[in-house]
Copies of this chain bind each other. A is one copy, B any other.
Amino acid sequence: MHGRTNLTAMRLMDACEHLLCEADALEDLTARRIAIEAHATPSAISYHFGSQEELVAAVAERVYRRLNAERLSLLRKAVDRRAPDPPDLDEVIAALVGPSIRWSLDPTSSYPVLSHFTSMAKTHRERAPHYRRIIDNVEHHRAFVPHLKRIAPWLDEIDIGWRLNCALGIRSQVTRSRSRTEVLTNYGIDLDDPDIVIARMVEVIAPMFRR
């Protein structure tokens, strides 16, 4: 009954994830190609997921979960290191943006899935439930709020959320608009080195949380 625990449903997800990573443009992802790679037929996509869109959404959600797990693990590590004192601001920021940066630079990661997914959400009607469910899922970002509040107690939760959102915007700009970043910085920053990029990001984000 349209289950996604099915074997071919799994193969479809794997094929979709793989194709999304290889393809440098969303238009290269077609139901027929996914089907071939999964040793199935295009109709299998409709049958198991309802539509190709929803298949991609399912794949993206899976990848998001991995990324968020890494983020939260780094956050926990940062908190534990200083407990019971507030964690180090730089370390918290690195936990927030680091995984995205590293994944986007790691050719073996599934980061392309995420950028393709968000652009797909914009191409199709964004308010569709299976999009909003993923896009509006900011619980893992909320996890950062209380710790940042301890670091900057003079900011209220709205201020913190706003700055968090800004930090994510910076992250997106760097991971998704690479050529613009290159040009604006005159090719003067090694954007292939995750540590350098993360340090640069901490450098601009940290002041938002200082007096």
Contacts and interface: CB of A to CB of B under 8 A. Distances in A.
Given A116-B122, A172-B173, 14 more contacts: A25-B122, A25-B124, A115-B122, A123-B123, A135-B177, A135-B180, A136-B183, A138-B180, A161-B186, A162-B204, A165-B174, A166-B204, A169-B174, A169-B177
A63 B169 CA distance: 23
Interface in A148-185: 157-158, 161-166, 168-174, 176-177, 179-181, 183-185
A119 interface: yes
A2 interface: no
A123 B26 CA distance: 5
A188 interface: yes
Secondary structure class of chain A's binding surface, majority of residues: helix
Interface residues of A, number: 51
A82 interface: no
A208 interface: yes
A180 B25 contact: no
A59 B38 CA distance: 40
A168 B158 contact: no
